[in-house]
Each structure stands twice: as C-alpha cells, then as structure tokens.
Amino acid sequence: MKEAILKMDHLQVQREGRQVLQIDHFQLKRGELLAIVGSNGAGKSTFLQTVNGLQKFSGKISLFGETMQDDNRTRLRRRMSMVFQETILQSGSVAETIGIGLTFREMKKIEILEKVEKVSTVLRCNHLLKRQSNTLSGGEKQRIGIARALITKPELLLLDEPFAALDLRIRREMITKIRAIAQKEAMSVILVTHDFAEALAFADRAIVIEQGKIVQDASPQYIMYHPVNEVLARLVGIENILSCQLQIQENTYAVQLQNGAVLPYKNLSKEAVSKCCIPADICIFANEIEKQKHGDWFPFVATCNEIRPSKNGYELTIDWQKQQLKLYFSRQKKECFAVNQEIEFALNLAELHLI
C-alpha cells in the first residue's frame, strides 16, 4: 500500500475574519493524480497555497512524513513545485528561467543545460529557449512555468489552472505529457481546474470543494454521473436536470417529473430529493432494447425539435410531453431521426441520478 505524502487534519484557513477553508481529514498517496474541482471562490486555490506553505492555518498538515511548521516549511517546499494561475517569470532567457530551480540547488551549469533541453523538448517548447522571458505570450509563459516546475522532479506537483491560456490542442497535449511524466516518476499531482473535462483526462481521483469544504471525493468518472448536488451537476455538464417528486409505496420507489411521467427507481440512497439528472448519453432508440446486454430500459415517445452537429455526432432537442430534453447520438444514427419526427426512445433507468 502506497504511503500518504500529504495529510490534513482539522485544517482551517481564515481570511479577514472569514473562514475560507475547512478540511476535517484529507490524504494524498504517493503517485496519486488528484483533481480539485468546484465553483469560483470555493477555496480550490487556497487549498493549494496552504499545502505550499503560503497560507497561515490552524490544524495539522503532514508532508512527506513531517508535520509542517515554521522551522521546516522552506525545506519541505523544496520537495514540491507549484504552477500558479498567472505565471510570473523572472527576467533573463527562457533557458535560465526553466533551470532556475536547479541553479538554486547549485547544480553544475552543463548539467542544468542538459536537463533544460530535455524537459523543454518533451514539452515542445525548446524553440523558445533563447527568447527573453518577458517577450513570451500568455500561453508560452504557462508552458515555461510548467517546464520550470517539472525540471526539479518534485515529489508533489501543485497545478493551479495551468492550462487556461493554452489552446485546446496544446492543452490536451500538455495534460497527456504531464500525466505520463508523473506516472513515470511516481510523482503526486494536485490539479485545480474549473474544466471537468481536464479532471476526466488527467486525474484518477477528484475532490469537490464548496464553500471551503470537501463535499465529494471519488473518481472523476463517478462524480460525472453521480454529482452530490445541483451545483456540481451543472459544473460537470449534465444536460438535463429536471424538477421531480419522489413517490414511495410499500418500499418501491418512482420519480415523477413535472410533465407527469413516472419513472421506476431502484438506487435510492436518500428520500429528500428535488432534481432528477438525466445525462444526454443514456438514451437509445426503442427498437434497440433487445440488443442491450445491460440496463433497465424505459420506453417513451417524443418529438425531435432540433438537430445540431456536435463533436462526436449529433445533439437532439426533443419534446417529451412538454418536457424538453437534450440527447446525444453518434453520426452512425443520423438516419434514425429528423426534425418534427415522432420517435420512440428508451431511457436507461439504471443511469438516472437523484439529488
């Protein structure tokens, strides 16, 4: 079992008399890739800054088996690297900027240059090495900031929305490369992001912070389909969040939507619910039910109001008894639907989620 390199117990951070972070218990294992998601102002960046010794706190933080205190804070920080939302680079060449952490460690210049060349090649920014840091664009600065953080091979890498200024192609490439490097080096990484797609692509585990508290801790895939509340459901991008009422009769449950439809429900974990989450990718056409090996299918008829191309196929807006839903279907299903057409669909009841 891998050791925990970061532990928090009864941690509190206050700012101007207001509590901005309250973590009862948390731990991160060596080599673990974690994403922190949440709304703006939830406390995500404060979490990273506290781990990095940049915030005063009460409670206990253990890093690499040591309790963080004033007398060891600087030494512990040398075993970490952090990339901030706004990358600040010192004056000088890009090569000098990337290698500055090794310079502070008094490594020989020839070794520094070799490592700078290596990391910049991996991150595809070696063409910038002779440029002056103050001439770089926002996206270039972020890539150099990431290279500067990785070159020291930290045991814990802290990333505070490091891809915000990068275009989509480079963003995906950087996520893939950092994940590969972290896995190779058994490096623990905490990524703060407002883009849940980044959490899905990068992390094995995610925590959700709201109002300074951890409200959910699970794999990104689980959180995507089982968000703990409506705020998170919208954050992860669930397309259909419908008002509903729970019907209970002799230990059987059903969900009644505002349009009057009643859906059987088996996975009830709480009885105080007000919303039914229907992801856009859990429906099929009713004539396909017999081909399905898994699922509990509920057939219904709806009218297709709109068809829009999407990245992986088509987005349908349908009218189901005056209830609008958005559904996704692959390009291969294009012949199965048309605007103003009445269509028989089937909904996978096992994939419904109540909040």
Architecture of the domain whose range is 4-234: 3-Layer(aba) Sandwich (3.40)
Q: Which long-range contacts (CB under 8 A, 24 or more apart) does 282-288 make?
A: 282/347, 282/348, 282/351, 282/352, 283/327, 283/345, 283/346, 283/347, 283/348, 284/345, 284/346, 284/348, 285/333, 285/336, 285/343, 285/344, 285/345, 285/346, 286/344, 286/345, 286/346, 287/344, 288/346
Is the CB of residue 139 less than 8 Å from the CB of residue 170? Answer: yes
Sign of CA dihedral 77, 78, 82, 88: positive
Q: Say how far apart CA 150 and CA 311 lie, in whole Å.
A: 33
The pLDDT score that the predictor gives to residue 1 is: 66
- List the chain domain ranges: 4-234, 238-354
Burial class (CB in 10 A: 0-12, 13-18, 19+), 256: middle
What does DSSP assign to residue 94?
A: H
In this prediction, residues 228-249 reach a mean pLDDT of 94
Domain spanning 238-354, CATH class: mainly beta
Residue 163 corresponds to which tokens in the numbers above?
């891809």
Q: Could you read off the pLDDT of 77-132 as tens digits, one per residue?
A: 999 999 998 887 878 999 999 999 999 989 999 999 999 999 999 999 999 999 99
In this prediction, residues 250-259 reach a mean pLDDT of 89
Q: Kindly report the pTM of this predicted structure.
A: 0.92
Q: Say how far apart CA 134 and CA 92 lie, in whole Å.
A: 8
Q: Give the H/E segment covering residue 313.
A: strand 313-320
Above 80 in pLDDT, residue 167? yes
